[in-house]
Structure 1
Amino acid sequence: MFFRARPPQVATPAAPRAPLRATLPDGGTVEVRCVENRRVRGLRLTVTERGVRLTMPPRTSERRALAFVQEHAGWLAGQLRHTFDGVEPLQVGTSTTLPLRGVDVPLAWREGRFLRVELEEAGIAATLPPALDARRVRKAFADFYLAQARADVGRWLPKYLPSLPRAPRDVSIRPLTSLWGSLAPDGRMRLDLALVIAPPAAFEYVLVHELCHLIQANHSSAFWDEVERRYPDWEAQRDLLRTRGRPIKAALRAACDTPAG
């Protein structure tokens, strides 16, 4: 007896849908990215730092999709205000401030031979060679944020390690879409780069939160007791991230346009 192997069935990805252009109550318009998903039955509208997304079942008509978005235009306008009001895209050579650690820090532009973004006593200084590609400049600002975030973690981590069963295997800092941090079963920790834009107390709370998962790999009352023991102000910082999370993430994207993972 033998069995004939069948070729693996590979799902054909749905063709990308063209974005919709919705009209807001004030007369302005917004682009809505459309995503088909076979696992959803209804239509779902979400707003993140990356913009507006409509998730829908396959073969949903454009007419129905647009009608759904327009039906929720008032809600959509409020979500856009919450996420993007006060968030200014970085204008290379002209922006005068940069968000960092909960405040807008003065930003000065200089000419020089080498591309650098540095924190000085008076603020942030960006040195630009002539005729430099804007993408490289934004990458330099992303690297600047990463260096600042690593410095913060390096300053806070030593005071918590003695009370832990072990140190995290490693700590990576990069833009995250929906999370502020995570701890894998093997001890690898991820932290959202946008936390360096939040007030430092909120950033430190997230670090403590993930470290406590080395003791309790859950969100039980015992876990929160461990957090409370190390960071009594944790509830205020958690609430701040819940209410201001999207604007903070949007500010990072506006400053360096770094894709989240």
Structure 2
Amino acid sequence: MPHLRRLLAPRPPVIERDVTSLELEDGRRIEIQRVRNPRARRLRLSVDERGARLTLPQRASLVSGERFLAEHRTWLAEQLERYTLQGLPALQRDITTSLPLRGAEIPLRWAEGRFTSLEFDALAGEAVFRTTSRATETAMRRALRDFYEGQARTDIGRWLPKYLPSLPRPPRRVQFKVMSSQWGSLAPNGVVALDLALVLARPSAFEYVLVHELCHLLRADHSRAFWHEVEMRFPAWREERDYFHADGRRLKATLRSLLAG
């Protein structure tokens, strides 16, 4: 019987993806990811640091999608200008002089070393990037990612102990990822995933996201009871939520720019 139920169960909807293009008013031609999603109820156009995306319902025609893009050409150009990676920091050997960290810019000094590494010199208040003459771009970006993750884990280690006594159990593990839209998540097995871009944000915002995910160990939803648990532990959570609404996309785009390769 279980095998029969699996055979008769409805198949999950298939999401189709392809790419189309659009010429903007200034003559630029851009690529747009086109997604046909059976769950979508209307045409939707969105823009983030990865580019533009058009979502179509199952029965919407491609012609209606092209017409929708044309009608929103001006809006699309404005949003792309806002989220473009132009002007964001890039990692360049001996050229980059500062790095974003904890809501500020810290000085960066380049030095010769036997291997590629990036460390924070607390006494000097600066980061020191040591590289060999043969260091590749990939090695430098790996060192930068390791540096950011190390700094993030230092923050977690400072905050986590004060919240553990009020939780039914500790998280199984905390891991860091480069996330597209979320800032954090809690898996059913108790693993907390956090966006690495949080270490670029102001510390209070980073701590709020940690508290948010820890509270899911108490409540798996976003009910009023869940927000009550958050409020008891972090009363200023609304200010941090507003901060992410205003600056979140820029933080994510900055990290992607620094780690791009």
User: Fold conserved (TM > 0.5)?
Assistant: yes
Distance, in Å, in 2 between the alignment partners of 1:247 and 1:109 is 26
Contact 2:16–2:35 (Cα < 8 Å) also in 1: no
1:88 match: 88
- 1:153 maps to a residue whose letter is I
2:108 match: 107
Distance, in Å, in 2 between the alignment partners of 1:172 and 1:232 is 25
2:217 match: 214
Matches within 5 A, 1:202-241: 202-241=205-244
Residue 99 of structure 1: CA displacement?
1.4
Distance, in Å, in 2 between the alignment partners of 1:67 and 1:187 is 45
Q: Determine whether 1:173 maps to 2:176.
A: yes
Residue 202 of structure 1: CA displacement?
0.4
Matches within 5 A, 1:21-32: 21-23=22-24, 25=25, 28-32=28-32
Change in CA separation of 1:42 and 1:218 when aligned onto 2, cut-off 3 Å: closer
> Which region of structure 1 is more displaced relative to structure 2, 118-127 or 155-164?
118-127
- 1:170 maps to a residue whose letter is R
Residue 36 of structure 1: CA displacement?
4.5
Q: Determine whether 1:75 maps to 2:83.
A: no
Matches within 5 A, 1:180-199: 180-199=183-202
Residue 221 of structure 1: CA displacement?
1.8
Gaps spanning 5+ residues in structure 2: where? 1-6
Gaps spanning 5+ residues in structure 1: where? 1-5
- 2:222 maps to a residue whose letter is H
- Percent identity reads 47
Change in CA separation of 1:22 and 1:37 when aligned onto 2, cut-off 3 Å: farther
- 2:71 maps to a residue whose letter is E
Matches within 5 A, 1:127-142: 127-142=130-145
> Which region of structure 1 is more displaced relative to structure 2, 30-39 or 148-157?
30-39
Residue 45 of structure 1: CA displacement?
2.1
Residue 169 of structure 1: CA displacement?
1.4
Change in CA separation of 1:200 and 1:64 when aligned onto 2, cut-off 3 Å: same
- 2:162 maps to a residue whose letter is K
> Which region of structure 1 is more displaced relative to structure 2, 178-187 or 202-211?
178-187
Change in CA separation of 1:218 and 1:175 when aligned onto 2, cut-off 3 Å: same
Equivalent residue for 1:124, pick from 124, 127, 132? 127
Paired residue secondary structure (2:222):
coil
1:164 match: 167
Residue 229 of structure 1: CA displacement?
1.2
Residue 33 of structure 1: CA displacement?
3.1
Change in CA separation of 1:22 and 1:127 when aligned onto 2, cut-off 3 Å: farther
- 1:177 maps to a residue whose letter is S
Distance, in Å, in 1 between the alignment partners of 2:168 and 2:140 is 42
Residue 215 of structure 1: CA displacement?
1.6
1:3 match: none
2:4 match: none
Distance, in Å, in 2 between the alignment partners of 1:100 and 1:147 is 12
Residue 75 of structure 1: CA displacement?
1.6
Distance, in Å, in 1 between the alignment partners of 2:155 and 2:26 is 42
Q: Determine whether 1:245 maps to 2:248.
A: yes
The number of aligned residues is 248
Q: Determine whether 1:201 maps to 2:208.
A: no
Contact 2:17–2:33 (Cα < 8 Å) also in 1: no
TM-score, normalised with respect to structure 2: 0.82
- 1:148 maps to a residue whose letter is Q
Distance, in Å, in 2 between the alignment partners of 1:224 and 1:30 is 41
